[in-house]
Amino acid sequence: MEQARSKQYVSLIYLALALATIIAYEPLRHNDFISYDDYAYVTENPQVQAGITRESIFWAFTTSYKANWHPLTWLSHMLDCELFGLDPVWHHLSSLLLHAANTLLLFWVLQKMTGAVWPSGFVAAVFALHPLNVESVAWVAERKNVLSGFFWMLTIAAYIRYAKRPGIGRFVPVFFALGLGLMAKPMLVTLPFVLLLLDYWPLGRFQWGRQNRRETSPLSKSVNVSYQRSTIYRLVGEKIPLFVLIVVFGAVTFIAQQSGGAMLPVENLSLNSRIANALVSYISYIDKMIYPSRLAVFYPHPADSLPLWQPIVCFTVLAIVSAAIIYTARQKRYLAVGWLWYLGTLVPVIGLIQVGSQAIADRYTYLPSIGIFIMVAWGGGELPAKWRYRGAWLGISAGLLLAAMVTCTRTQVQLWKNNLTLYEHTLAVTENNSIIQNSYGCALFEEDRLNEAIVQLNEALQISPEFSLARGNLGKVFLKQGKVNEAIACFNEALRTSKDQPDVYYYLGLAKVRQKKHNDAISHFSEALRLKPDYINAHLHLAYSLAEVGRIQPAAEHCYKILQLEPDRVGALNTLAWILATTEDTKFQNPTEAVKFAEKACELTNYENPGALDTLAAAYAAAGRFHEAIETAEKAVELAAPAGEKGLAEEIEERLQLYKSGRSYRWP
């Protein structure tokens, strides 16, 4: 009877965990992609948008794009695009399903190892609902976090089976689960050490001295004695293949991050600054677990500005807590395991090897926080049994805590609704945040709030005067405002600071086109393509400028190259049709092909784009189909004027008179 009731409780906990997770993250269905890496990972990544193809799979396993090697993460995004296109709802749902699966697996492995249902359920519930984990779930680009977490849990699940009766056949799933996790995110390099901690507690696999392998130590009442015991040397030895695996993946990750420029050299951030920030970060993360307020997508690194007392105090606290836990380790093993789980799993991302320019990141606590949650759950269970209504108080307190977490998590998820809400909040809770100031300026630029964008970008430059990315973005705003000289000045200044910027070369080329300096534009577009060979827009505008100076053949070649990469690229179709229809070079005149490309461009724009219609009219005229040319040009004029393109409307009117007199248009 008691066993049946226990199974009912377990089933209800699984159901409650799933429902609570869905309720907490329900606002995700309203969220969009975020410019902060989502564009690079999904919405502006042609390899990912291609879905699951032979070429994209090869790319996933060979690229170090975004300064990482995580092929499984790329394949996950590709699968979403294959199934759902670019609908953000489904991309968010995939991440949420992985987080829910991680929650249920966490409950399963803890309950399986310890036999303790309620503490295991509490840890899983806090993991599912804690606001600190919102970043990992609500940020599509952080798919790698929840995906690697899934294989983290599967590795432990496979290890539990292995630990009961060790053997090669049972070890192989452990090895492969860890390998898959490392292909999702390299942070799993600490997992073999966590398995050693689990050997200590709750699996109880450590054999002390001459103690019998199946004998229970008087100091190990809280461990599970149903697992195969062994000496520390054999426990470490059996994991040597896992250690080899993490060394290999660690080396690959190091190379990828170094080649991608993600690792900051010591001259940029001193070792003393890194150590000080690491000490403060350990305490900051615990503070955010206890009181998750002022959470942000990016926390600026303090560099050398940290007051000396902060790392000293944090080191002292860490030392005292560690000493106390070591002192009680034999009686309260869960404290030692939880604490070392937390400290150890944060090592790869604590900043001693600085990757990126953040001080801390909420996403880094996704798996490390489980160690602290274990300490709290099992520690709460050891409150004096003589306390009256102890069970009721614990249950009520846990229920109120989890209800508060659901509310906070829902609020936090809504902050990730779009670029503006996320960046506005981040700037409100952080200081001197030039990275997000720049991102916010770009978001305002996308909304055509140009004057506000200028304010934000200038503030970013006041914080970081050498911030070339913000300088280049300021130039883009000026260019859109028609302030070409100011834009060119910004682009040149950005390139003075950093020449490895294909976007800046591209927009500098656009500015030169505005000035009719096409030879200069060709030079800048070419440099953008040297740095970024698959830069479609640079190919497109380079083709236009080449045609403008009479270099028809290379112009057409660039258009064909674009159409090989993106067959439905309207700009390439339109430009190529224009060249083939209007060029004076008889070797390249091809009215039939021009009509084909122009008609496809118009179909893709529903015959509502005046520029595409203008090209189609020119193509019809070149093919001698003047009646269709006249009708198409008239429609183009009707659409251009209301759209505010008066200059284009006047040019089409001039060409229309040619078509009416039975003549085609020649360019340039």
Q: What is the pLDDT of residues 512-525, one digit of tens each?
A: 999 999 999 999 99
Last residue of a domain, one of 523, 551, 567: 567
Of all residues in the chain, the percent with pLDDT exceeding 90 is 75
Q: Has residue 221 been placed in a domain? A: yes
- Least confident interval from 156-170, 217-231, 236-250: 217-231
Q: Kindly report, residue by residue over 384-410, the tens digit of the pLDDT.
A: 555 666 677 888 889 999 999 999 999
Residue pair 470/464 in contact (Cβ under 8 Å)? The answer is yes
Banded model confidence at residue 215, pLDDT cuts 50, 70, 90: very low
Q: What is the reported pLDDT for 221?
A: 45
Q: What is the reported pLDDT for 392?
A: 78
Q: Which burial class, exposed, middle or buried, applies to 240 when counting CB atoms under 10 A from its CB (0-12, 13-18, 19+)?
A: exposed
The answer, yes or no, to whether residue 220 has pLDDT greater than 50, is no
Q: What is the reported pLDDT for 476?
A: 97
Q: Has residue 284 been placed in a domain? A: yes
- The whole-number average pLDDT for the span 362-384 is 91
Q: Kindly report, residue by residue over 558-610, the tens digit of the pLDDT.
A: 888 888 878 888 988 999 999 999 988 888 889 999 999 999 999 999 999 99
- The whole-number average pLDDT for the span 294-301 is 96
Residue 124: which of 393, 377, 479 has the closest Cα? 377
What's the domain count of the chain? 3
Residue pair 17/115 in contact (Cβ under 8 Å)? The answer is no
Domain extent, residue 600, equals 570-668
Provide CB contacts within 8 A for 474, sequence distance 6+. 441, 454, 457, 458, 461, 490
Last residue of a domain, one of 372, 387, 415: 415
- 216 vs 430 pLDDT, higher one: 430
Q: What is the reported pLDDT for 389?
A: 67
Residue pair 430/300 in contact (Cβ under 8 Å)? The answer is yes
Q: Kindly report, residue by residue over 156-180, the tens digit of the pLDDT.
A: 999 999 999 999 999 999 999 999 9
pTM of the full structure: 0.89
Q: What is the reported pLDDT for 408?
A: 97
Q: What is the reported pLDDT for 224?
A: 57
Element (H, E) at 424: helix 419-429
Q: Kindly report, residue by residue over 23-76, the tens digit of the pLDDT.
A: 999 999 999 999 999 999 999 998 999 999 999 999 999 998 888 899 999 999
Q: What are phi and psi of 300, to 5 degrees?
A: -60, 145
Clarify whether residues 305 and 291 are in a common domain.
Answer: yes
Clarify whether residues 111 and 187 are in a common domain.
Answer: yes
Clarify whether residues 173 and 151 are in a common domain.
Answer: yes
C-alpha to C-alpha distance for 653 and 617, rounded to whole angstroms: 11
Residue pair 361/346 in contact (Cβ under 8 Å)? The answer is no
Mean of the per-residue pLDDT values for the chain?
91
- For 36-54, give the DSSP string: TTHIIIIIT-HHHHT-S-H
SS3 394: helix
- 555 vs 239 pLDDT, higher one: 239
Q: Has residue 422 been placed in a domain? A: no
DSSP secondary structure letter of residue 348: G
Q: What is the reported pLDDT for 262?
A: 54
Clarify whether residues 527 and 579 are in a common domain.
Answer: no
The answer, yes or no, to whether residue 536 has pLDDT greater than 60, is yes
- 2 vs 433 pLDDT, higher one: 433
Clarify whether residues 512 and 597 are in a common domain.
Answer: no
- The whole-number average pLDDT for the span 345-371 is 92
Q: What is the reported pLDDT for 566?
A: 82
Residue 618: which of 569, 570, 585, 579 has the closest Cα? 579
What region does 235 belong to: left with phi over 0, alpha with psi -120 to 50, or beta? alpha
Q: Give first-to-last CA distance, the chain, whole Å.
A: 90
CA-to-CA separations, 328 to 118, 220, 321, 378, in angstroms, rounded:
23, 12, 11, 14
CA-to-CA separations, 386 to 262, 382, 397, in angstroms, rounded:
55, 11, 18
Q: What are phi and psi of 584, to 5 degrees?
A: -85, -15
Q: Has residue 371 been placed in a domain? A: yes
Clarify whether residues 578 and 563 are in a common domain.
Answer: no
Q: What is the reported pLDDT for 223?
A: 54
Q: What is the reported pLDDT for 353?
A: 83
C-alpha to C-alpha distance for 185 and 241, rounded to whole angstroms: 19
Half-sphere exposure of 582 (CA within 13 A, CB side): 23
Q: What is the reported pLDDT for 387?
A: 65
Clarify whether residues 532 and 629 are in a common domain.
Answer: no
Provide CB contacts within 8 A for 657, sequence distance 6+. none
Q: In angstroms, what is the C-alpha Rg of the chain?
A: 30
Clarify whether residues 560 and 618 are in a common domain.
Answer: no
CATH number at residue 639: 1.25.40
Q: What is the reported pLDDT for 439?
A: 97
The answer, yes or no, to whether residue 212 has pLDDT greater than 50, is no
Clarify whether residues 54 and 136 are in a common domain.
Answer: yes
CA 559 to chain centre: 32
Clarify whether residues 233 and 248 are in a common domain.
Answer: yes
Clarify whether residues 385 and 507 are in a common domain.
Answer: no
Q: What is the reported pLDDT for 5?
A: 61
Banded model confidence at residue 218, pLDDT cuts 50, 70, 90: very low
Q: Has residue 431 been placed in a domain? A: no
Q: Has residue 423 been placed in a domain? A: no
CATH number at residue 512: 1.25.40.10
Q: Has residue 408 been placed in a domain? A: yes
CA 109 to chain centre: 28
Last residue of a domain, one of 395, 415, 435: 415
Q: Kindly report, residue by residue over 606-629, the tens digit of the pLDDT.
A: 999 999 999 999 999 999 999 999
Q: Has residue 440 been placed in a domain? A: no
Q: Kindly report, residue by residue over 251-271, the tens digit of the pLDDT.
A: 888 887 776 655 555 557 888
Clarify whether residues 342 and 404 are in a common domain.
Answer: yes
Of all residues in the chain, the percent with pLDDT exceeding 70 is 94
Q: What CA dihedral angle connects 536, 540, 541 and 542, to 10 degrees?
A: 90
Here the tokens at position 641 are: 């004027």
